[in-house]
Amino acid sequence: MDLTILLQLIISGLLIGLVFSLIAVGLTLIWGVMDILNFAHGDFLMLAMFTSFMMFNHFGLDPIFSLPMIVVLLFFIGLLTFRFVIKPVLGYPGLIALLATFGLSILIRNLVLFFLGPNYRVINQSILAGKTLSFGGLYFSLSQTAAALGCVLMTYAIYLFLSKSKFGRALRATALDKDTALLMGINTNRVFALTFGLGAACVGVAGGFLVNFYAVFPEVGLNFAILCFVIVALGGFGNIMGAFLAGILVGLVENVGGFFIGPEFKYTLVFVLYLIVISMRPKGLFGW
Amino acid sequence: MKKSIYWVILLALVLAFSSTAKAAEEIEVALLYPLSGALTEAGKRMKAVYEVAAEVINGSYDIKGVPYAKTEGIPNKGGAKIVLKFYDTQGSPEVGKAETERALQEGSAKLIIGAYQSAVSKPTSFVAERNKFPYLCGVSSSAALTERGLKYFFRVAPTDFHDSRMFFTFLDDMKKQGKDVKRIAMVYERTEFGVHAMKEVKKRIAESGGSYELVADVPYEYKATDVNAEVLKIKAAKPDVIIHATLFSEMTLFAKTYQNLGVKTNANISFCGGYQNPKFASQLGNTVEGYMGSCTFAEDFISKKAHLKQINEMYKAKTGMNLDGIAMEGFTTLFVAADAFNRAKDLSPDAIRDALATTALQIETMPGKGVKFDANGQNIWIDSTLSQIQKGDYKVVWPNEWSTTAMTWPMRP
């Protein structure tokens, strides 16, 4: 067994795992604060990728430069989702909100399908796309390396925001006990809205980077969403650090396990790992 | 007297309208394609090409080598027009089965054409067979589809068998020229299409008596999020040739990952799938320079058969894209249906089935003589060629009879 192949497997697993992490962090943030599983999360990712692609295609704006705009746009999409989809069903059984996001997911996907068509789109001439760094037989795709770094930075920024800022404390307080937070004068609706915005902004970052190495099409979000639901559960619902580490773990299991046991089993391995973990720790690796 | 003239005119008008009504009689065809879901793009392209084919059959066009183009409608059925009714399979075998049942229950269609993926063609054609209803398969390539002994199933497209035979004849040719082609890696999605393509490749390797060696057998899950493990497995095996049975989304992912992980090989050859989507070449540019694949239609053919230009322009006006092999197979399929309607003694399912079984349609739309089905319903007059992406265009490079451009070998010098 060639050592460089093994190292390459670990590097590739880490790089893609970090992208999974960021998508899952957005998802777990919303769950942790609001107890709502956002089924439209993958579609937010798709919207971010489509916006990035269109900015590149129509205005020649490289995905790396359009990234801040996409993050802001997704943040507002998150706010709007809360205002018009989630807020009206707050206070009703959780299943209603879950079904509302499920409906939103179908709506977004079909609107994109209707207005933009089903075609696959690929960006291949951006600053990051198709470029590779090579050291001692190891290859680092510039687009994946940048995506991984971006995801680490975004997750760290979220972590700092939650642990150091006043709003972060309000958010954590709301996550712990919504009613008591309300009694303490915290505007929980505002916290919920901003949480949805932040969750969507996370996939904005992930989508803005993914577009450099992944085809864009209306169904693209689904491919990632299912894996990210597993990551969120594996890391512990609502636990940001858990989702971050579980994403990396899933990336590594997929790559290293897939190579040694067989690529056709790489997703099976992830689900087996998930089943083992929840049978021993039903609240996930870092759940409490 | 004057009154009787009015009556005569009225009678003449009634007769004229009734004959027009007869001339405008319609023959409905049910088409099963993925018009939503992950394969919508492919389904919409197929819809466009069938609409072009129906336009040509129902109208009058001067296209050489294409029967039923000059005449309006189906000549032996009083010029009856073909009407298309699309049913959305969503790319799912279960939905496909339900839609087939629906088409049969509605009862207005005389023939079913479908489906895009082999995995959907298989169960939907079983439903048609159970109901003794003729089913014409346009593009699904799994050889197993015509190995089931069905009586009402016919396929126009070449199969994995034809493609794999063509690939290995090509590799034999390369071997004679002293090129390294012994070590083969096979990459395929774990679906009906991919698994059967793999089986055909394995058979060809076994038949070669040691001329070729399968050094990597790499199946992967359809809708993959990344293919790093797959590509590294291939890289570790150091193949001379990589053979793909892969649809568009994963094909772009593989191409980018080969580039990202520095995989070098002499040739990358694809079965019918993502490679044939014109966007693969136009959007991925240098990343896929030198990739090769089976091809039943390329723009190059227009220089060999100028009459195809008109069809290509009609298709391009609808889709903004040039015809590709899969689209051309669909186009030809509707002419096979038209020919069967024309020759069938009536439009009952059995009469149409019998007409399909005796098809011998000479049509100059694809390599080969046209369409003639064997006892299993497989077209035996079809041939395939090998195209290569060169500077963003698909160029036919093999065999010499069809090639217009010299091949680039190895694909990445």
Q: What is the pLDDT of residues A53-70, one digit of tens each?
A: 999 999 999 999 999 999
Please report residues of B whose CB lies closer than 8 A to that of A218. 40
Residue B16 belongs to a domain: yes
In the predicted model, residues of chain A with pLDDT beneath 50 are none
pLDDT bin (cut points 50, 70, 90) of residue B23 is: very low
Domain check: are B248 and B176 in the same one?
A: yes
Of B270, B322, B247, nearest to B42 by C-alpha is B247
Domain check: are B143 and B192 in the same one?
A: no
Q: How far is residue B279's CA from residue A63's CA, in Å, rounded to a whole number?
A: 20
Checking DSSP bridges between strand B26-33 and strand B109-114, what pairing results, if any? parallel
Checking DSSP bridges between strand B370-372 and strand B267-270, what pairing results, if any? unpaired
In angstroms, the separation between the Cα of residue B217 and the nearest Cα of chain A is: 9
Residue B77 belongs to a domain: yes
Domain check: are B242 and B187 in the same one?
A: yes
Residue B400 belongs to a domain: no
Give whole-number Cα distances, A127 to A98, A131, A137, A209, in Å: 39, 8, 23, 11
In angstroms, the separation between the Cα of residue A129 and the nearest Cα of chain B is: 9
Residue B353 belongs to a domain: yes
Residue B301 belongs to a domain: no
Chain A, 19 to 38: residues with Cβ < 8 Å from chain B are 20
Please report residues of B whose CB lies closer than 8 A to that of A117. 41, 44
The 3-state secondary structure of chain B, one letter per residue: CHHHHHHHHHHHHHHHHHHHHHHCCEEEEEEEECCCCCCHHHHHHHHHHHHHHHHHHHCCCCCCCCCCCCCCCEHHHCCEEEEEEEEECCCCHHHHHHHHHHHHHHCCEEEEEECCCHHHHHHHHHHHHHCCCCEEECCCCCHHHHHCCCCCEEECCCCHHHHHHHHHHHHHHHHHCCCCCCEEEEEEECCHHHHHHHHHHHHHHHHCCCCCEEEEEEEECCCCCCCHHHHHHHHHHCCCEEEEECCHHHHHHHHHHHHHCCCCCCEEEECCCHHHCHHHHHHHHHHHCCCEEEECCCCCHHHHCCCHHHHHHHHHHHHCCCCCHHHHHHHHHHHHHHHHHHHCCCCCHHHHHHHHHCCEEECCCCCECEEEECCCCEECCECCEEEEEECCEEEEEECCCCCCCCCCCCCCC
pLDDT digits over B171-207, tens only? 999 999 999 999 999 999 988 889 989 999 999 999 9
Q: What are phi and psi of B110, to 5 degrees?
A: -100, -15
Contact yes or no for B225 and A217 at CB 8 A: no
Mean pLDDT, rounded, for B245-256: 90
Note whether A21 and A247 are within 8 A (CB).
yes
Residue B282 belongs to a domain: no
In angstroms, the separation between the Cα of residue B283 and the nearest Cα of chain A is: 6
Residue A254 at interface with chain B, using a CB cutoff of 8 Å = yes
Residue B315 belongs to a domain: yes
- Chain A residue with the nearest C-alpha to that of B219: A264
CA dihedral A144, A148, A149, A154 (to 10 degrees): 130
Residue B240 belongs to a domain: yes
Domain check: are B74 and B14 in the same one?
A: yes
Q: Is the pLDDT of residue B111 over 70?
A: yes
The amino acid that residue A270 corresponds to is V
DSSP state at residue A83: I
- What is the pLDDT, as a whole number, of residue B413? 42
- What is the pLDDT, as a whole number, of residue A63? 95
Q: Is the pLDDT of residue B7 over 90?
A: no
Burial annotation A99-125 (CB, 10 A radius, 16+ → b, else e): ebbeebbeebbeebbeeeebbbbbbbe
Contact yes or no for B260 and A132 at CB 8 A: yes
Contact yes or no for B230 and A258 at CB 8 A: yes
Query: Which residues face A139 on adjacent strands?
Result: A134
Domain check: are B118 and B189 in the same one?
A: no
> Which candidate from B218, B261, B283 shows the least CB-CB separation from A263?
B218
> Which candidate from A124, A217, A257 shows the least CB-CB separation from B249?
A217
Domain check: are B236 and B205 in the same one?
A: yes
Of B307, B306, B334, B272, nearest to B52 by C-alpha is B334
Q: How far is residue B311's CA from residue A28's CA, in Å, rounded to a whole number?
A: 52
Burial annotation A170-196 (CB, 10 A radius, 16+ → b, else e): bbebbbeebeebeeeebebeebbbbbb
Evaluated on CA atoms A90, A93, A98, A103, the torsion sign reads negative
- What is the pLDDT, as a whole number, of residue B221? 84
Q: Provide the domain count of chain B.
A: 2
> Which candidate from B43, B220, B232 shows the least CB-CB separation from A9?
B232
Residue range(s) defining the domain that contains residue B30: 9-158+306-383
Please report residues of A whose CB lies closer than 8 A to that of B186. none
Query: Which residues face B90 on adjacent strands?
Result: none
Residue A261 at interface with chain B, using a CB cutoff of 8 Å = no
Contacts A–B by Cβ distance under 8 A: 117
With both helix axes pointing from N to C terminus, report the angle between A220-235 and A240-252 in degrees, rounded to the nearest 10.
Answer: 120
Over chain B, what is the mean pLDDT? 88
Q: Is the pLDDT of residue B73 over 50?
A: yes
pLDDT digits over B76-98, tens only? 999 999 999 999 999 899 999 99
- What is the pLDDT, as a whole number, of residue B8? 58
Query: Which residues face B113 on adjacent strands?
Result: B31, B136
Q: How far is residue A236's CA from residue A286's CA, in Å, rounded to a whole number?
A: 5
In angstroms, the separation between the Cα of residue A176 and the nearest Cα of chain B is: 34
- What is the pLDDT, as a whole number, of residue A272? 93
Look up residue B356 and give its two tokens.
Answer: 């399909």
Domain check: are B208 and B107 in the same one?
A: no
* ipTM for this model: 0.84
Of all residues in chain B, what percent carry a pLDDT higher than 70? 94
Q: Is the pLDDT of residue B14 over 60?
A: no
Domain check: are B264 and B337 in the same one?
A: no
Domains in chain A, CATH or no CATH each: 3-280 (1.10.3470)
pLDDT digits over B375-398, tens only? 999 998 988 889 999 988 888 898
Please report residues of B whose CB lies closer than 8 A to that of A120. 41, 248-249, 252, 277, 279, 283
In angstroms, the separation between the Cα of residue A286 and the nearest Cα of chain B is: 25
- What is the pLDDT, as a whole number, of residue B170? 94
- What is the pLDDT, as a whole number, of residue A256? 93
pTM score: 0.77
Look up residue B82 and give its two tokens.
Answer: 């073909």
Domain check: are B134 and B213 in the same one?
A: no
In angstroms, the separation between the Cα of residue A255 and the nearest Cα of chain B is: 5
The amino acid that residue B296 corresponds to is T
Domain check: are B148 and B191 in the same one?
A: no
B204: domain CATH number? Answer: 3.40.50.2300
Domain check: are B83 and B44 in the same one?
A: yes
- Chain A residue with the nearest C-alpha to that of B223: A223
Contact yes or no for A256 and B229 at CB 8 A: yes
